[in-house]
Structure 1
Amino acid sequence: MKEQLILDVLPVVSPRFDNFVTGRNDEAVSRLRAAAAGQSIYLWGEHGSGKTHLLLAATKQRGRYLNAATDPLPDPGEPVPAGLLIAVDDVQNLSEAQAAALFGLFNQWKTRQDTPDAFTLLTSGPCAPRQLHIREDLLTRLSWDLVYRLETLTDDERRSALLQRASDKGIPLSAEVTNWMFNYYARDMSALSSLLDALDRYSLAEKRSITVPLLKSYLQSRHS
């Protein structure tokens, strides 16, 4: 019960363009911010590079985010509303039926690309289109328009991203705690962000400030 009450009062930070640390990805982020009807963009990069964050940010105002592993894709036989932005994340996880649906969506996107009924189609995967193990005719369509590789953050950029997330959520994070996290914990941004959120919950439950001893206590509690 105490854990649930803590979860209920924690601030939720939604993925936005303004809380994404671009690093060396300025052009890709700028293109996504300005993605217009009639455009298609495929993002690729390793786990933790920010693909999901950016797709969620892009669909926040006028779009629909879909994860290929969990969400059904729209029926390609039904017209997509003009101006809608559709984002399909992790295309490497498409089932045969979903791959057929995305193939149909691309055909519809291409047919309407230069018309008043155009819509935006964003996709992502872990590697360049030609390296994906999905149907050949879909590989071609993923490259029909813009393709961007997302570069992973350097250590300095990761620190900046972590401190920004902490500031966003009102979590006081000292240099000592930050250094410990980077020296003794995974440097993947997803893992660091998850640790920060869990540490915030733990500090509230224990009614203690976030310090290195508290961090060690939390990690020990996970393995006890």
Structure 2
Amino acid sequence: MSNQAPQLLLDILPAPAPTLDNFIAGGNGEALAALRGIGPGRAIYLWGPAGSGRSHLLAAAVRAHPGAVLCGAATPAREFVALAEGGVPLVAIDDVGRLDERQQAAVFGIYNRWRESAAAEQRGFALVVAGDSAPLRMPLREDLRTRLGWDLVFRLDLLSDADKLAALHAHAAARSLDVTPELLEWLLTRHARDMRQLTALLDALDRYSLATKRPITLPLLKTMLAAQPRPPAD
């Protein structure tokens, strides 16, 4: 049998783009609801450990607001300064704790501009910032630390394994995939723990099953993963 069709499916599709709809909230439902309803003049600070979904939510908020801008440590300070002039509906700033002094100074200006314009909806904008610690514990200049808590603050918790299994079951059911609990538990404990990667793997397995004309089973999943091209040796 030709390997061409399966090989096309072994190039596992990149994880789907982050949206508010595909964020698995778990115990973070209040933060998700606040982002769904955010509008001009509101600010949200999200904090939590790596893997809690901070970057997903920021990227999703930007996708939900055409014209919004997402910034981070790789964004030149001059671009932060330009954002302080306004003109965009939503500014999202990820990993604020990694910003250098010039970037922090510019974000300080963005917060001041946000507060000044908050009373004027026609000129106001929304602000969403994320970091790995509570506002007053962030390694930032003092005047910026205090501004992180000016409006809404949400701590993001990691999903439990039960939350992840429930989300994988729901994703499989939505695609009418006949998967066993054994397969999903193996996938969760032996492979990537990021939910977007896990759901992308399920989608790839569905395509691989169709291409090989074999039912979705744990042995088929292992075969698909084993057949992926290995990275070249150094």
Scaled to the shorter chain, the TM-score interval is: 0.7 to 0.9
1:111 to 107, 116, 119: 116
Using a 3 Å threshold, how does the CA distance of structure 1 residues 24 and 136 change in structure 2: closer, same or farther?
same
- Where does 1:170-189 land on structure 2 (aligned, <5 Å)? 173-185=179-191, 188=193
Contact 2:59–2:70, Cα closer than 8 Å, also in 1: no
Give the whole-Å Cα distance in 1 for the aligned partners of 2:181 and 2:51. Answer: 23
Please name the residue that 1:71 is paired with.
75
Q: Which moved more, 1:51-60 or 1:123-132?
A: 51-60
Question: In structure 2, what residue type is equivalent to 1:127?
Answer: S
Note if contact 1:76-1:108 (Cα within 8 Å) is conserved in structure 2: no
1:87 counterpart SS class: strand
Gaps of 5+ in 2: none
Normalised TM-score (structure 2) = 0.76
TM superposition shift of 1:109: 0.6
Native 8 Å contact 2:81 2:106 kept in 1: yes
- Structure 1 unaligned runs (5+)? none
For 2:174 and 2:75, locate their aligned partners in 1 and report how far apart those are by CA, in whole Å.
Answer: 29
Q: 1:28 to 1:204 in 2, by over 3 A?
A: closer
Deviations 1:12-45 (A, max 9, x none): 7332222222222222211111112111110011
Q: Deviations over 1:44-71 (max 9, x none)?
A: 1111212222222222232524241333
Q: Secondary structure at 1:75's aligned position in 2?
A: helix
Q: TM-score, normalised by structure 1?
A: 0.79
- Percentage of matched positions with identical amino acids: 38
**CA-atom RMSD in angstroms:** 3.4
Contact 1:76 1:104 in 2 (8 A): no
Aligned to 1:89: 94
Q: Secondary structure at the match of 2:124?
A: coil
- Among 76, 100, 103, the residue aligned to 1:98: 103
From the superposition, tell whether residues 77 and 212 of structure 1 become closer, same or farther in structure 2 (CA, over 3 Å). closer
Identify if the C-alpha distance between structure 1 residues 182 and 122 changes in structure 2 by more than 3 Å, giving closer, same or farther.
same
In structure 2, the partner of 1:30 is 33
Count of residues in correspondence between the two structures? 220
Task: Give the Cα–Cα distance (whole angstroms) in 1 for the partners of residues 100 and 5 of structure 2.
Answer: 40
> 1:165 Cα shift?
4.4
Residue 21 of structure 2 corresponds to residue 15 of structure 1? no
